[in-house]
Amino acid sequence: MNTPAILATNHLSKYYNNVCRVNKVNMAVHEGEIYGFLGPNGAGKTTTLKMLLGLTKPTEGSVSIFGKECSKNRQFILSHIGSLIESPSYYGHLTGLENMRVMQKLREIPDKNIQEALHIVRLEKQKHKKVEQYSLGMKQRLGIAMALISFPRLLILDEPTNGLDPAGIGEIRELIKSLPKRYGMTILLSSHLLTEIEQIATSVGIISDGNLLFQGDMEILQARNKASICIKTQDDASAERVLLTYGYMPVHQHGHLHFENMSDLQVAQVNKILVEAGFNVIRIEEHKKSLEDIFLELTGKERSL
């Protein structure tokens, strides 16, 4: 967090016909990070990313990348960014390789980059096939390869695992995680899935209804997201009284006994106490907070996702 931001927005806002879609967002992405941009569908993720790339013009506010003002240094900045926005773009009548060549011509990069990018996303075997015959997952991989082609300083990926099967999702996740170390890239990726961001990102920004609600290290979010333990017995009220005498302080709510910050050993301990005291333990569950719960905490009010 001490390094200066590689990407920063200042009061970035977008209005469509006077309806606010992105509201005064101040975002900061630091060198070497994987920044997860998290929010439900329609929260303004894509609009924000498109403003970063100049595809959409901000109604208000500004973007600076690599320490330069975007509207004035468009070509310089774009030459160091790779991006995949919305679903993948491609020329269906051309082969995968020819699509890469179009990108190569526009970016003036050596041939070996094409080979390497195709290798990374495992499309080498299908590179001579027309893209209109690709499956959705293959198109997505091609889109990632096109974003990677110049091995840029900053990579912007909008929902990169869309359309991939579970195996593909895992593979792309590992790939994205490896990029900062292998190529020194900084990555900004968006998703509507908390679990995905949790597994990949080192920093996170949460957007909802166009407002950036939270921004910071992944660990801070993870702390909020610690799992709690729910125990249900035949007689929760009596069980609570017994446990209190042992120093445990469960919260009795929603017909469960609720424990925060429990280690595995403690869970086993509690179970033993209850069984020995003659309670029938019906179930012990681990309860993860959902994105909804975190939103609830962050905003203090109910939101529909």
Partner 1 sequence: MKKSISAEWLKLRHSRIGLILIVMPILSLLIGSANYYFNQGALQHGWYSLWVQISLFYGEFFLPLLIAICCAYVCRLEHLNRNWNVVMTAPVSVASLFLAKLAVVSVLIFIVQVFFIILYFVAGQLLGLSSTFPIEAFGWSLRGWIASISIAAMQLGLSIRIRSFAAPIGISLSAVFLGLGMYVTNMGMFFPYSLLTIGIGALSQESLTGVENSLFLIMNLIFISAFSSFAIYRLQKNDVIQT
Q: Give the nearest distance from C-beta 125 to partner 1 in angstroms.
A: 20
110 lies in the binding site for partner 1 (CB under 8 A): no
Query: Can residue 228 be called a binding residue for partner 1 (CB under 8 A)?
Result: no
Q: Considering the rule CB under 8 A, would residue 276 count as an interface residue with partner 1?
A: no
Q: Does 198 bind partner 1 (CB under 8 A)?
A: no
User: Is there binding between residue 190 and partner 1 (CB under 8 A)?
Assistant: no
264 contacts partner 1 (rule: CB under 8 A): no
Q: Does residue 18 belong to the site contacting partner 1 (CB under 8 A)?
A: no
81 binding partner 1? (CB under 8 A): yes
231 binds partner 1 (CB under 8 A): no
Strand partners, 141: none
The C-alpha angle 75, 114, 73, rounded to 5 degrees, equals 5
Candidates 83, 190, 208, 215: give the one binding partner 1 (CB under 8 A).
83
Residue with the two structure tokens 């929603």: 254
Phi, psi of 21 (to 5 degrees): -105, -35
DSSP summary character for residue 31: T
Q: Residue 66 in contact with residue 244, Cβ under 8 Å? A: no
Q: d(Cα 16, Cα 31) in Å, to the nearest integer? A: 32
Candidates 30, 107, 232, 303: give the one binding partner 1 (CB under 8 A).
Answer: 107
Helix (H) / strand (E) element for 297: namely helix 291-299
Closest distance of CB 299 from partner 1, Å: 29
> Is position 130 an interface residue for partner 1 (rule: CB under 8 A)?
yes
- If you write DSSP's letter for every residue of 244-289 in order, what string do you get? HHTT---EEETTEEEESS--HHHHHHHHHHHHHTT--EEEEEEEPP
Nearest-10 crossing angle of helices 96-107, 111-120? 130
Among 50, 127, 192, 256, binds partner 1 (CB under 8 A): 50
Tokens describing residue 176? 């994205």
102 lies in the site for partner 1, by CB under 8 A: yes
List residues near partner 1 by CB under 8 A: 50, 53-57, 74-76, 78-79, 81, 83, 85-94, 98, 101-103, 105-108, 130, 146
